[in-house]
């Protein structure tokens, strides 16, 4: 940590927070993610086994007695979710498999074919849409049947996970090229078996928490070796692990606080990363600190299991990439003298939050984007330099309140923009080998103990409607733009001219000459009910240009007293265009006529029209000045098809 601290400690806030324009390297991978228990629902469908999160919710331990029984109902809305991914232009989708949906008891003898087919269909649907699947084998939702025998504290679970991983590699590995063995396993060890805030609700930070990490690390390594020995040669692909970590910023430049921050990272990130990426064993600093507290307090506050020499060899180097889940940072100071169990006390550190840091709906997550860059530098120095593997950012996101402005989520846009930019700084300015950025999450979902009270999604999910409809938020459009540009273009903002919508004199746009005003409508005082306006969307940029210009002219018509009451965009879908057949596309949505399922993908024009409808006028892009007008209240927006062309 000292090297990273020295590198950045002289930065002024202005230099630290300076926005960097530019693009990510060619081939950089963009992704969105979900986790099985947060979105799938269908908790008993087709014989799926109970998970520890099902049990936790049914025991009333989640906010407002909420459960994940239905969640987003993604089990039945797979096509809908993939449609959203296509609309976002997301080239990669990271999802987790529910162990209990394939092996209801957690054991291979209980194989449920319908559960296996669900994930097979999801993977096929993604690939047909040009989206690469990234699969996490386990993200928190352990089968309850395994927990009944001790869960991650029972050493037999290592073999059970190895067999589950073997099945998944065998079944899906010829189509899936990126695997995470675990997602945020520190949360399982610390909150599941340490504080008891997560299922299975065990409060044993001295023994169980450390045993869980020990078994998870061995299970990860066993799974990696199964892939390496049996499948890598024929399937290709990569297997890694998605570790979660805060950045630990020393609260002062004192040696004591710097050392405390180092211990914080050892107890959170190094606990898992050091065995896998360095030497097969726990960090020396972690082991030394635990022994120090044992001597100081006269008892075992932390019982750290020991890897055998054979296990160390088996664990070392078992990752093809370093997966990082990150949400926030902490200020760390030294705090000695406590003899209570728990990482803070054992580690002799205390964490703080700067009151100036922007808050989110979670008291545990503050927006500290510069911490990401420092954490990435730390990982590159401590871990990936040893094994020479790239870093994949496997999850970054922030929660908003359930009752907040759910669609116009400008706070999330600011959060993502700044964190993505810090990742770009790490690549361009620090030469850190980062190859992927994943936004958490594609959808609002069931957020653990918080239930549905916090929203992480790029898409709003209405949980009060049993059909759980999805709606893109502003952040979905922002992320689409980032993907399309592969970063942030270096350009000066432009602005449209103001349209007041009141009088000709107020308008800054030229009005139409009398010769161009539809005279019959004006003379006979007929109401113009709708206008059909079609442009060949094969010329995408030209289409957007003329669509904007045409809408400006509609306003001019309105200012010239034409009684315009609505606007219809032709056409909702690409379709059979008479003599031209399928050679031209008028649709707001592209249809792949070469595929028997005729999959639909929203075009850029669909996103634009969606924003126009939502704002009843011209949208406000991030780059533009707020000088847009609105159509009259009650103005009707529509889309159209014709029966012969689509049926």
The pLDDT value given to residue 523: 35
Region 590-607: mean pLDDT is: 83
pLDDT on residue 547: 62
* 502 compared with 381, residue with greater pLDDT: 381
Establish how many alpha carbons lie within 13 A of residue 542's alpha carbon, considering only the half-sphere containing its beta carbon.
7
Please determine, for residue 525, whether its predicted confidence score (pLDDT) is greater than 90: no
**pLDDT tens for each residue of 5-61:** 899 999 999 999 999 999 999 999 999 999 999 999 999 999 999 999 999 999 999
Looking from the CA of 337 toward its CB, the CA atoms found within 13 Å total 2
**Stretch 129-144: mean pLDDT, rounded?**
98
User: What is the structure's pLDDT at 518?
Assistant: 40
Q: How far apart are CA 300 and CA 290, in angstroms?
A: 8
Task: Grade residue 630 by pLDDT with cuts at 50, 70 and 90.
Answer: confident
Segment 480-496 shows an average pLDDT of 73
pLDDT at 210: 99
Task: Say whether pLDDT at 444 is over 70.
Answer: yes
pLDDT of residue 409: 94
Q: Given pLDDT bands bounded at 50, 70 and 90, which one contains residue 541?
A: low
Strand partners, 612: none
185-199, 205-219, 222-236, 552-566 — which is least confidently predicted? Answer: 552-566
Backbone torsions φ then ψ of 331, nearest 5 degrees? -90, 130
For residue 184, the model assigns a pLDDT of 99
pLDDT of residue 14: 95
Place of tokens 């990696």: 224
Q: State phi, psi for 214 to the nearest 5 degrees.
A: -55, -45
Q: How confident is the model at residue 540 (pLDDT cuts 50, 70, 90)?
A: low
Identify the band that residue 560 occupies on the pLDDT scale cut at 50, 70 and 90. low
Q: Cα separation of 414 and 528, whole Å?
A: 41
Q: Give the residue, 590 or 250, on which the prediction is more confident.
A: 250
pLDDT at 535: 40
- Architecture of the domain spanning 2-9+20-488: Alpha-Beta Barrel (3.20)
- Angle, alpha carbons 482-618-535 (nearest 5°): 80
* pLDDT for the residue numbered 302: 97
In this predicted model, which residue has the larger pLDDT, 372 or 583?
Answer: 372
Residue 621 reports pLDDT greater than 70:
no
- Mean pLDDT check: name the lowest of 133-137, 391-395, 407-411, 533-537: 533-537
Give the helix ranges, DSSP H, for 441-562. 474-485, 519-523, 540-559
**Displacement of CA 294 from its chain's centroid (Å):** 40
Domains in the chain: boundaries: 2-9+20-488, 514-646
Residue 584 has pLDDT above 90, yes or no: no
Report pLDDT for 520: 35
Of 19-23, 378-382, 483-487, 511-515, the one with minimum mean pLDDT is 511-515
Rounded to 5°, the CA angle 41-47-49 comes to 70
Give the per-residue pLDDT at 517. 38
In this prediction, what percent of the chain has a pLDDT beyond 70? Answer: 86
Q: Quick: pLDDT tens for 149-206.
A: 999 999 999 999 999 999 999 999 999 999 999 999 999 999 999 999 999 999 999 9
> Pick from 267, 310, 268: which is nearest to 285 by CA?
267
The Cα 104–Cα 144 span in angstroms is 9
Contacts of 162 (CB under 8 A, 6+ apart): 219, 222, 223, 226
DSSP string, 87-117: HHT-SEEEEE--HHHHSTTSSGGG--HHHHH
User: How high is the pLDDT of residue 552?
Assistant: 62
Phi, psi of 591 (to 5 degrees): -110, 130
Dist. CA 548–CA 216, nearest whole Å: 55
Residue 222: pLDDT over 70:
yes
For residue 490, what pLDDT is reported?
A: 59
Which helix H or strand E contains 216, and what residues bound it? helix 208-226
Distance in angstroms (rounded) separating the CA atoms of residues 247 and 365:
12
d(CA 499, CA 507) in angstroms, rounded, equals: 5
Average pLDDT on 418-439 reads 98
Encode pLDDT of 352-411 as tens digits. Answer: 999 999 999 999 999 999 999 999 999 999 999 999 999 999 999 999 998 777 799 999
Residues 276-283 have a mean pLDDT of: 98
Specify the pLDDT at position 627. Answer: 47
**Listed range (80-89, 453-462, 592-601) with the worst mean pLDDT:** 592-601
Q: Give the confidence band of 486 by pLDDT, cuts at 50, 70, 90.
A: very high
The pLDDT value recorded for residue 550 is: 60
Q: Which pLDDT value is given to residue 544?
A: 58
Average pLDDT value for residue range 245-272: 98
- Model pTM score: 0.83
Selection from 134, 114, 116 nearest residue 30 by Cα: 134
Q: Cα torsion at 399, 420, 614, 471 (round to 10°)?
A: -50
Higher pLDDT pick, 475 / 506 = 475
Q: Could you please report the per-residue DSSP string of 116-171? A: HHHHHHHHHHHHHTT-EEEEEEESS--BHHHHTTTGGGSTTHHHHHHHHHHHHHHH
- pLDDT score, position 2: 87
Contacts of 644 (CB under 8 A, 6+ apart): 576
Confidence band of 603 (pLDDT split at 50, 70, 90): confident
Q: What backbone phi and psi angles, to 5 degrees, belong to 160?
A: -65, -45
Arithmetic mean of pLDDT over the chain: 89
Residue 556's pLDDT band, with cuts at 50, 70 and 90, is low
Closest CA to 177 of 91, 82, 114, 101: 91
Share of the chain above pLDDT 90, in %: 76
Helix ranges (DSSP H) in 298-437: 309-315, 343-347, 369-379, 385-387, 410-428
Per-residue CA distances from 37 to 49, 123, 243, 362 (Å):
12, 18, 19, 20
Q: How far is CA 242 from CA 115, 209, 385, 396, 526, in A?
A: 24, 19, 18, 12, 63
């Amino acid at each position: 940590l000292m090297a990273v601290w020295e590198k950045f400690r002289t930065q002024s806030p202005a230099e630290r927070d300076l926005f960097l324009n530019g693009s990510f390297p060619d081939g950089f991978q963009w992704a969105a993610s979900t986790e099985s228990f947060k979105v799938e629902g269908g908790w008993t469908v087709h014989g799926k086994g109970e998970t520890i999160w099902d049990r936790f919710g049914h025991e009333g331990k989640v906010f407002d007695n909420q459960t994940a029984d239905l969640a987003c109902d993604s089990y039945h809305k797979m096509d809908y979710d993939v449609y959203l991914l296509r609309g976002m232009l997301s080239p990669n989708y990271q999802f987790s498999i529910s162990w209990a949906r394939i092996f209801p008891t957690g054991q291979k003898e209980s194989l449920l074919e319908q559960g296996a087919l669900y994930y097979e269909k999801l993977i096929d649907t993604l690939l047909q849409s040009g989206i690469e699947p990234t699969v996490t084998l386990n993200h928190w939702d352990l089968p309850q049947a395994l927990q009944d025998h001790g869960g991650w504290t029972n050493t037999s679970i290592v073999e059970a996970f190895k067999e589950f991983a073997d099945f998944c590699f065998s079944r899906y590995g010829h189509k899936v090229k990126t695997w995470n063995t675990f997602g945020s396993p520190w949360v399982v060890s610390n909150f599941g078996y340490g504080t008891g805030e997560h299922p299975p609700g065990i409060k044993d930070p001295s023994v169980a928490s450390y045993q869980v990490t020990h078994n998870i690390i061995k299970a990860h390594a066993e799974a990696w070796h199964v892939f390496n020995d049996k499948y890598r040669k024929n399937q290709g692909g990569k297997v890694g692990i998605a570790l979660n970590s805060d950045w630990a910023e020393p609260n002062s430049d004192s040696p004591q606080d710097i050392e405390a921050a180092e211990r914080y990272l050892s107890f959170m990130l190094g606990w898992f990363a050091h065995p896998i990426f360095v030497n097969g064993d726990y960090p020396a600093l972690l082991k030394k600190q635990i022994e120090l507290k044992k001597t100081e307090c006269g008892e075992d506050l932390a019982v750290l299991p020991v890897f055998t020499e054979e296990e160390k060899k088996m664990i070392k180097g078992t990752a093809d990439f370093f997966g990082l889940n990150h949400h926030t940072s902490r200020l760390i100071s030294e705090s000695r003298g406590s003899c209570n169990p728990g990482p803070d006390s054992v580690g002799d550190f205390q964490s703080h939050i700067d009151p100036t840091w922007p808050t989110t709906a979670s008291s545990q997550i503050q927006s500290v984007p510069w911490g990401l860059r420092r954490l990435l530098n730390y990982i590159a120095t401590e871990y990936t330099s040893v094994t020479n593997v790239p870093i994949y950012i496997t999850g970054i996101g922030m929660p908003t309140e359930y009752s907040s402005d759910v669609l116009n989520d400008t706070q999330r846009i600011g959060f993502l923009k700044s964190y993505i930019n810090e990742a770009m700084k790490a690549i361009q300015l620090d030469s850190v080998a980062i190859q992927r950025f994943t936004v958490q999450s594609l959808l609002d979902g069931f957020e653990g103990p918080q239930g549905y009270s916090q929203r992480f999604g790029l898409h709003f999910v209405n949980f009060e409607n049993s059909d759980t409809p999805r709606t893109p938020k502003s952040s979905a459009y922002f992320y689409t733009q980032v993907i399309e540009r592969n970063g942030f273009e270096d350009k000066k903002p432009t602005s449209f001219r103001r349209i007041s919508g009141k009088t000709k004199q107020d308008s800054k746009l030229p009005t139409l000459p009398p010769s161009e005003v539809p005279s019959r409508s004006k003379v006979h005082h007929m109401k113009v009910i709708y206008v059909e306006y079609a442009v060949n969307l094969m010329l995408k940029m030209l289409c957007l240009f003329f669509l904007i210009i045409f809408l400006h002219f509609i306003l001019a018509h309105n200012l010239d007293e034409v009684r315009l009451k609505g606007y219809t965009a032709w056409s909702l879908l690409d379709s059979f265009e008479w003599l031209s057949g399928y050679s031209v596309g008028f649709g707001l949505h592209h249809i792949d006529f070469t595929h028997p399922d005729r999959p639909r993908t929203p075009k850029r024009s669909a996103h634009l029209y969606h924003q126009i409808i939502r704002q009843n006028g011209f949208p406000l892009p991030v780059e533009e000045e707020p000088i847009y007008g609105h159509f009259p209240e009650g103005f009707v927006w529509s889309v159209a098809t014709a029966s012969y062309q689509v049926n």
